[in-house]
Every structure is written in C-alpha cells, then in structure tokens.
Amino acid sequence: MAGTMSQHGHFRVWRIAGLVSLAVLVAVGLWSVWHWQYTQAAREAERHAHNRLTLYSSSLQGALERFAYLPGLLAQQTLIQAALTDETRLLATQANDYLSLVAERSGAEAIFLMDAQGVTIAASNHAEDDSFLGHHYAFRPYFRDAMDNGIGEFFAIGSTTGRAGYFVSAAVDNPAGTGSQGVLALKVSLESLQESWRQAGENVLLTDANGVVILSSRPEWRYRRLGELSEQAMLEIREQRQFMDEPLDPLGERLRDGTLSIGNQGIGERYLTKPLELATLGWTMHYLVPVRPLYASARNALLVAAGGTLALLLLGLWLRERQKRQRLRDRESRIIREANERLEARVEERTRELREAQAELVQAGKLAALGTMAAGIAHELNQPLSGIRTYAANGERLLHRERTQAAEENFRRIQTLCERLGTLIRQLKLFARKGGAREPVELAARLDFVLELLEERIQRQGVTLHVTLPANVPHDTIRVAGDEVRIEQLLTNLLRNALDALRGVETPRLEITLDDEPRRWVITVADNGPGIDEATLERLFDPFYTTKAVGDGLGLGLFISYGIVQDLDGRITAGNREAGGAWFQVELPKAEGGPRHA
C-alpha cells in the first residue's frame, strides 16, 4: 500500500515538474517571439529612418550649399567694397538695389552688408518694414567669425524679423588690403524645408551643436533642447540672442532603454531616435520612430504565437483525451468480448451436455420402442404361427382318417394365416423403408389416386365424400417434397382408419380438406364416426396400439404415418370434432417452387 502511495507521489511530482517546465518553455518561447518580432520591426524602422535621413540631410545640405559661395562672391564686388567706404552713402543705395536683385534671383531671404561695427548699411529688404538697415549685428557670431576668419555661418531666429534662418557670411576686404572692413551676410530661410518634412508626416528634427532643436517636422518641438545645456552654452546663446527669448525647455525625457519619451505625465509617446551628424555647424539630424507600432507588431506576433500555442495545447489535450477514451473503449470491448467468449464456451459446453443427455434419452427411447415393437411382432407372429401349427396337426390327423374334405378346410385356413403374416411383414418392410426420395409430389393427384383405390369401399359403405381443395391455386402447384409411395401410404392410412370408424354409422360422411397456409399445406381428414376416446388419444401413434379386433388391425398404421410425416419435416395431430367423430390433420411444408404466401 505504502509502495503504491509513494509511487503515486512520484508520479505527481513528475507531472507537476513536467507542467512547470512546459509553462516555462512556453513563456520563454513567447518572449522570444515577442523579442524577435520587436527587434525585427525596430531594425526595419531603423533602415527606413536611415533612408529618410539620408534623403532629408542631402536636401538640407543642398539647400545650404546653394548659398555657401554667394557671400564670398558678393564680397568681391567693387560696389560692395566701395559702399563701405563711401561717405556719401550714395553707393549704399545702389548696393541696396543690387542686393535685393541678387536675393530675388538666388532665393535668399535676405542679403545685407555690415560695416566693421556690425551696423547694416545696405540690405536686400531695405524697402520693407522690418528692414535690417541700421540694425546692429555685432553680437552675432556670423559677424564676428567673418571679421576674424573671413567667413562665418550661424543659425538663429532673426532679431529683427523674428523668423529663423541660416546665416552665411563673408568678410568684405579693404581694397587696400588692410584687412576686413565689413561683413556681407546672407540669410536662408529653412521654413519651406521644414514644411515639406511636416507634410511628409514624419518625425524629423534638426539640432544644433548644443542639442537645441532648430528645425522640426512638428512645430511644437522647435526650440526645445535634447539633453542638457551647460551654463556656459546657455550664456552664449543668450548673448548671441540666437533663439531670442525662447525658454529652450527640454524635449521629452531620455529613458533608460535609450528611447525618447515626449509628452507629459508619462503618458507621452516614446520614440527610438536615429541620429545623423551633418557637416554644417555640428548639426545633427534625428529621425524619430514611434515605439508604439513596434510594440503593437510585437504584441500581434505574440498574440498569434499565443493563439497557436493555445490551439496546439488544446489539440494535444484533445488527442490525449481521445486516446484515453479509445483505450477505455478498447478495454471495455475486450472485457465484453472475453465475457462473450466465456459465455459462448459455457453455452457450448451445456449444449454438448444436453445433446449427450438427449442422445442417451433417444437411445433409451429407441431401446424401449424396440422392446415394444419386438413384443408386438412376437405377439403378432405367435398367434398365426400357433394357429398354423394347430391347423397343420389337425390336417395331418384328418388325412390319416382320410377325411380329406375337412383337411382341405384346414389347409385353406393355414393359407389365410400365412397371408396375414405376409401382410404383417409387408407393413414392417414399409416401416423399415426410411427416408425415401425428396422430390416434388403433387398432393391433389396423390389424393385422387388413393380415393380411386378406395372407391369400391366408399361405395359399399355408402359414405358421402366431401373433398375441398384450395381455390385460386392450380392443383399441380400443390406440392410437397417427398416420395409418392410414402405419401400415398400416409393418405391411405388416414382414409382407411376413417372408413373403419364409419362402419355401421347411419349416414357416414368423410370430409377431406386441403388448406393453403403460409409455407405449408394442411390436409384434414374428418369423419362422423364414434371418435377417439381419451385413452386411445394418448397412445394413438404408438406402434401396435389398436382397438380393433385381432386380424382387423395391427396398430401400425398411425405409427408409420407419424414416421412419414416426421421424415417430411411436418406435423400430425388428431382430435375429436364437437359434432362427433374424429379428425386427423397433417401439415407438410411446401416444396420449393410451390406458391408461397407473403
């Protein structure tokens, strides 16, 4: 008992361990699917980002480079150089016109000329309200760089216009070659570029060297900073009034996984950032990939995988259940089969026992019948034989006395007794003739034949005969399987007995009916004789049972008839009619080919 318990316990432990490892396996598998899909989607997004960045950066570079040469070229112009030294300011007016023409042709937002103090003395937008003329730009790096190094570039929100732009500048040399006497600057608007990004519906940023967003496809992200700004840098920006009064708040928050979360209260959108450094001014272009679609795609893959796993699990469970049920069914059917086999074996055994018992009974019955028969035959033979012996002895004595007449009489009696013995032997022979042929025998024809043989007797006894054959059935189809002689014998026995019973009856009647029943023919022979008493009815078919006088009947007729009917698989019954008289009924199966009832 303890052994099976611990075995059961072991089984349980193994089962739980199996389930746990299956769960871990499934979890790890699902996580891998999630991770793989996420990585795959991120890689795809990064590739896309890289392509877009290349495209956008080259268009930006192109836009900037288009103007890069222009300030230097203009600074070489004598009109520009002369305008700086012209006390009368006449040339400045000319320069105004010239610069506005160049600006219009080149697409620059503004081109302006500053003197050595940074004061604008000529500008392409001289005619407009927010003209640069007279404005002081010495604080701008593009001025100072150009004065110091010959060229400068800068991105800033215009202090006059409030519009952001990229400034490129070149020093205007003194014709005498004594150094820079002013700066020619050109402002390029990048608004249209930004607008095209916005329209593409993508998240693109351009940050300067300090990490401040100077261009963005989303206007609300502009002038915010990515990362920290040093105090030094902040101070410089304020000094150069690069972004005017923009507060330069941080744009989102860098999370630990490197993603950038933009928005507030933590429900902001998260982005993967893909940077691309540009040659200009330490600028960096960023492409932002929203993380949510990546997660969504990973989640979808996870869902599909989980669904698949679940389906597999359910399939597995179902298969297991089916197998279990099948095993149960197999066991059940095996048990039933075994039980059946046992039962069959028992039935067979019982049948055999029964058959043996029956065989013994039959044997006993046969012996008994044989005994009765032997006694009957001995009795039947004995009587005529002793008669013959007596008549023969008498005859001899009479011959001695020469009473030949009387002796002849004795010899005649001997002959009669011999004939009787012959009849007995003939009947015994008939009885011995077992199992004759089985061919179709026409019942109606045999009945006719037998009636013809008995015609003389029927006439003599004045018997009224009624024969009823089935209507609607051709007589030659009323057939049974047997042999003619035995069927004639059967009919003769029944009719003879009836005629015997009608002896001495006042208005003797004999009724013969042939009925058509499903599968068999039924012959009824009925008379209006004295009928059969109880005791006789019981022994009617026994051999040598007769109520007739010695020499009238042997008591074999019905016994032989019974045997014949048995041989033909039929049935013979007898009884008394209510109106008086006896009936005998013989049922015989129809021969194949005869009419059959549904």
Tokens of 16: 């739980």
Contact between 526 and ligand ADP by CB under 6 A: the answer reads no
Classified as helix, coil or strand, 39 is helix
Question: In the complex with ligand ADP, which residue's Cβ is closer, 136 or 496?
Answer: 496
> What minimum distance in Å lies between the beta carbon of 382 and ligand ADP?
17
Shortest CB 363 distance to ligand ADP, Å: 25
Angstrom distances, CA of residue 99 to CA of 72, 80, 81, 269, 492:
13, 9, 13, 46, 157
Cβ proximity to ligand ADP, 170 vs 582, nearer residue = 582
Least distance in angstroms from the C-beta of 461 to ligand ADP: 13
Q: How far, CA to CA in Å, does 371 sit from each of 402, 543, 545, 558? A: 45, 11, 14, 18
**CB atoms closer than 10 angstroms to residue 411:** 13
Residues within window 498-517 making contact with ligand ADP, judged by CB under 6 A: 498, 501
The three state secondary structure string of 473-487 is CCHHHCEEEECHHHH
| Nearest residue to ligand ADP, scored by beta-carbon proximity | 553
Q: Which two tokens stand for residue 438?
A: 């089985």
Nearer to ligand ADP, 204 or 501 (CB): 501
The SS3 of residue 566 is helix
- Region near ligand ADP per CB under 6 A, out of 122-130, 235-243, 252-260, 555-563: 555-563
Distance of closest approach, residue 351 Cβ to ligand ADP, in angstroms: 35
> Which C-beta is closer to ligand ADP: that of 543 or that of 594?
543
545 binds ligand ADP (CB under 6 A): yes
Stretch that binds ligand ADP, among 8-16, 355-363, 503-511, 527-535 (CB under 6 A): 527-535
Is the CB of 103 or the CB of 463 nearer to ligand ADP?
463
Quick one: which segment of 134-142, 303-311, 468-476, 526-534 binds ligand ADP (CB under 6 A)? 526-534
Q: Interface mask (CB under 6 A) for ligand ADP, residues 444-483, using x and -?
A: ----------------------------------------
223: left (phi over 0), alpha (psi -120 to 50) or beta: left
Beta strands in 130-238 (DSSP E): 151-157, 164-173, 180-188, 204-207, 213-216
Q: What's the distance, CA 365 to chain centroid?
A: 66
Residue 577 · residue 583 · CB < 8 Å? yes
User: Going by DSSP bridges, is the β-strand pair 120-123/110-115 parallel, antiparallel, or unpaired?
Assistant: antiparallel
Q: Are 184 and 80 in contact (CB under 8 A)?
A: yes
Q: Total residues at the site for ligand ADP (CB under 6 A)?
A: 21
When computed from its CA atoms, the radius of gyration of the chain, rounded to whole angstroms, is 70
The one among 497, 512, 563, 570 contacting ligand ADP by CB under 6 A: 497
Q: Whose Cβ is closer to ligand ADP: residue 399's or residue 465's?
A: 465
**Token code pair at residue 298:** 């990973």
**Cβ contact 483:550 at 8 Å:** no
**Is the CB of 55 or the CB of 378 nearer to ligand ADP?**
378
546 near ligand ADP, rule: CB under 6 A: yes
Which residues, 6+ apart, have CB-to-CB distance to 183 below 8 Å? 113, 114, 118, 142, 143, 146, 147, 152, 169, 170, 171, 172
- Out of 150, 387, 555, 589, name the contact with ligand ADP by CB under 6 A: 555
> With binding defined as CB under 6 A, does residue 113 bind ligand ADP?
no
Instruction: Please select the residue that binds ligand ADP; options are 582, 586, 588, 591, rule is CB under 6 A.
Output: 582
CB of 573 to ligand ADP, least distance (A): 13
What is the C-alpha separation between 3 and 407, in angstroms, rounded? Answer: 112
- Measured from the CB atom, the residue of 436 and 555 that comes closer to ligand ADP is 555
Choices 89-97, 356-364, 434-442, 549-557; region in contact with ligand ADP by CB under 6 A = 549-557
Residue 557 near ligand ADP by CB under 6 A: yes
Q: Rule CB under 6 A: which residues touch ligand ADP?
A: 493, 497-498, 501, 527, 529, 531-532, 536, 540, 545-548, 553-555, 557-559, 582
